[in-house]
Amino acid sequence: MNLLLTFTNTVSLREWDKIGILDREVLLYKKLSQKGISVTFLTYGDKSDLLYSNRLKDINIIPIKDKTELKTLPFIRTILFPPFNYKIFKNIDIIKTNQMGGSWITWLLKILYRKKIILRCGYETYKNELYEYRKLAKHKRALMRLLFLYITEWISYVLANHIIVSNNFDKNFIINTFKMNFNKISIIPNIIDTKVFDRIPTEKKAKSVLFIGRLDEAKNLENLIESFKYLEDYTLDIVGKGHLEPLLRSLVEKSKLQSNINFLGNLHNSEIPKLINQYHVFILPSHWEGNPKTLLEAMSCGIACIGSNTPGIKEIIKHKKNGYLCNFDSESIANAIRRVYEDTELRKKLGYNARNYIMKNNSCNTIVERETKIYQSLLKPKKMFQNT
């Protein structure tokens, strides 16, 4: 079986490595390769992406910028790539997108070469933009973007032979909004390397809470920071970067919380397991999420996790069983932190059950098995995966 993964628009292996997520993003495909599936990456990088060949072992790499000499706009170069590179695609059985962004390249591959297409949509862009548009009442330009996203996603969903989403909320949204067949969509959550993200014996920070993620509107960081007005004896460590950082730093200064809030910047993903294990409590109070990897990684490390009562999170966290749910306001966040931290028995139970949940639902073996079943269902018997 030959699988081609098309990268998200403009993304390269070099960029994944630069921001410290390369190992996390290629984990699934390394495991598939070990199972006998021939995997090829179609990236938006240049020849520098080929330098990762040894690191990725049996995975083939095709950087679009290295394979074309067309001096034109990146979008046009992408559109022209499939028609002039039949040899690259002729032996491919299944083409899978990494995300919705850049999915238009699969439109051409489907039309020109009649390939089977799996559309992975870990982040439902139209749904989240629609929520933000309604919440913030944006202007006409935002409305035009919504229209563009709707048309793009509708074409992608219609042409796909199968759709993979990370959570039930996105699945129902796609069915209801784009009128897709229920059986065409599968839910496969993010894969977690449970051997890497595991309990690591280390000294815990006293009364300290950890947040990891982008510093943007979705993460509800303003209310998280405000909650520490009620938690004067606690500290919050924020890992991540984003356009809201100046505003958040200003809020910390204005609220006189400099001794409570620490901005740690970006960290390489390989540093995250050891960091997580230094805390008793992890928090993700987002307005909306899909299947948040940082939450899953923290749960895999066996620490107590708090999340907001929003669809992408409450599908993972079962209140007071494997995690703790709070509302979006600062007082509710503060109450949740104090409740989880001060109840030692509850905290231990949440961490233990969180680890078990990840082992059952997000481990490498579980996700690889579910992926290969979808591949098998799309191919004729003579091309089916032989090792399962």
pLDDT tens for each residue of 104-160: 889 989 999 999 999 999 888 888 777 766 655 556 667 788 888 899 999 999 999
Residues 355 and 289 placed together within one structural domain of the fold:
yes
pLDDT, average across residues 195-203: 95
Please check whether residues 164 and 26 belong to one and the same domain: yes
Residue 287 shares a structural domain with residue 378: no
Same domain, 341 and 374: no
Helix or strand or coil: residue 208?
A: strand
- Are 123 and 268 part of one and the same domain? no
Neighbours of 15 (CB within 10 A): 17
Residue 317 binned pLDDT confidence (cut-offs 50, 70, 90): very high
Q: Are 351 and 226 in the same domain?
A: yes
DSSP at 106: H
Same domain, 115 and 242: no
The pLDDT assigned to 125 comes to: 85
In a domain, 27, yes or no: yes
Q: Domain for residue 349, yes or no?
A: yes
218 and 182 both lie in a single domain = no
Contact 197, 273 (CB under 8 A): yes
**Residues 123 and 80 occupy one common structural domain:** yes
pTM of the model: 0.89
Note whether 220 and 285 are within 8 A (CB).
Answer: yes
Q: Which domain holds residue 323?
A: 208-361
Backbone angles phi, psi at 376, to 5 degrees: -60, -40
Q: 147-151, 305-309, 326-330: which range is least confident on average? A: 147-151
User: Per the structure, how many domains does the chain have?
Assistant: 2
> Would 327 be classed as within a structural domain?
yes
- Region 57-84: mean pLDDT is 76
- 185-187 and 2-6 strand pairing: unpaired
- Kindly state whether residue 169 falls inside one of the protein's structural domains: yes
Q: 141 and 19 in one domain? A: yes
Is residue 87 a part of any domain in this protein? yes
The answer as to whether 307 is a domain residue is yes
Residue 388's pLDDT band (cuts 50, 70, 90): very low
Residue 164 shares a structural domain with residue 52? yes
Distance of CA 277 to the CA centre of its chain: 21
Please indicate, yes or no, whether residues 30 and 89 belong to a single structural domain of this protein.
Answer: yes
Average pLDDT of span 237-260: 96
Question: From CA 112, how far away is CA 98, in angstroms rounded?
Answer: 20
**Position 268 in a domain:** yes
Average pLDDT over the chain, rounded to an integer: 91
- Whichever domain contains 117, its CATH number is 3.40.50.2000
In a domain, 196, yes or no: no
Beta partners for residue 302, in sequence order: none
